[in-house]
Amino acid sequence: MQNIVVLISGQGSNLGSIAQACRRQHWPARVAAVIGGRSAAAGLALAALEGIPTQQLAHQDFSSREAYEAELAERIDAHDPDWVVLAGFMRILTPPFVARYLGRMVNIHPSLLPAFPGLATHRRALAAGVKVHGATVHFVTPGLDDGPIIAQAAVPVQPGDDEATLAARVLAAEHRLYPMVVRWLVEGRSRLHSEQLEWLPAGEPPADDPGRSAAWPDDSQLLWCP
Ligand code: GRF
């Protein structure tokens, strides 16, 4: 049984989609703990409803980034993690912290990277006039929103979209994308190898994987890179 530790900063809807998929699809894994900061109360409550142990760790309570990360690593490691999943975790991590979990830590970012790293992705996508937007799951490396891409979900930008409608469409796609990718990792389908994404002999997702079909509802699309 593999252990997944999820780090959140907000409402935790991606965490919820992962925890539910893990339980319903009987992954050989469990969400062993959810750790969140001060603004993560709603997400931590959601985790508790799923029966997952939660911990609150506020970076504001620490005098330095290093001190905060040392405590965070201790709490993560207490759960013997196979995977550290960043789900709306709004902290920039130092290179030593990233190195500690290299190949075991993934993130979801609400844009089609490498477009729009950083914050306010939906507003910037609208301002740029892109016709396709989306979300990316990638391995975490020291660069900001910069690690090898495992998969992406693309959604159309509709005429009349504002930041809220576009964000909602992307978030709905995230809820399909992230559980699928974490499942692939747990099942050993892909991994980080020599700083690149590698698909293992288990290969591409199975035929009955909902993500295999090119078209998803509401015109969004899953894109992956075997
Ligand atoms: C998601 O859009 C994620 O891509 C971004 O933060 C948001 C988190 O949403 N990094 P939630 O807390 O999972 O609902």
Poorest-pLDDT segment among 18-32, 69-83, 147-161, 181-195:
181-195
Check residue 210 and give its pLDDT. 53
* Domain at 1-101, CATH from 3.40.50.170, 3.20.20.150, 3.40.50.1240, 3.40.630.30: 3.40.50.170
In ligand 1, which atom is closest to the CA atom of 13?
14
Q: In Å, how far are 46, 126, 161, 179 from 133, measured between CA atoms? A: 28, 9, 12, 19
193 is catalytic: no
CB atoms within 10 A of CB 79: 18
Q: Of 26, 59, 109, 175, which residue is the catalytic one?
A: 109
In ligand 1, which atom is closest to the CA atom of 16?
13
Say which CATH class 108-226 falls into: alpha beta
For the segment 198-211, the average pLDDT, to the nearest whole number, is 63
For the segment 201-213, the average pLDDT, to the nearest whole number, is 57
Give the residue with greater pLDDT, 189 vs 137: 137
Quote the ligand 1 centre to 221 CA distance (angstroms): 19
Chain centroid, CA 179 distance in Å: 9
Chain centroid, CA 134 distance in Å: 13
Calculated CA dihedral for residues 209, 15, 173, 149, nearest 10 degrees: -80
The phi and psi torsions of 155 (rounded to 5 degrees) equal: -125, 150
Q: Is residue 217's pLDDT more than 80?
A: no
Render the burial of 160-170: b for 16+ CB within 10 Å, e for the rest.
Answer: ebeeeebbebb
In ligand 1, which atom is closest to the CA atom of 12?
12
pTM: 0.92
Indicate whether residue 86 lines ligand 1 (CB < 6 A): no
Share of the chain above pLDDT 90, in %: 76
Quote the ligand 1 centre to 202 CA distance (angstroms): 29
The phi and psi torsions of 66 (rounded to 5 degrees) equal: -65, -40
Q: Is residue 218's pLDDT more than 90?
A: no
DSSP 23-69: HHTT-SEEEEEEEE-GGGHHHHHHHHHTT--EEE--GGGSSSHHHHH
- Residue range(s) in the chain whose domain bears CATH number 3.40.50.170: 1-101, 108-226
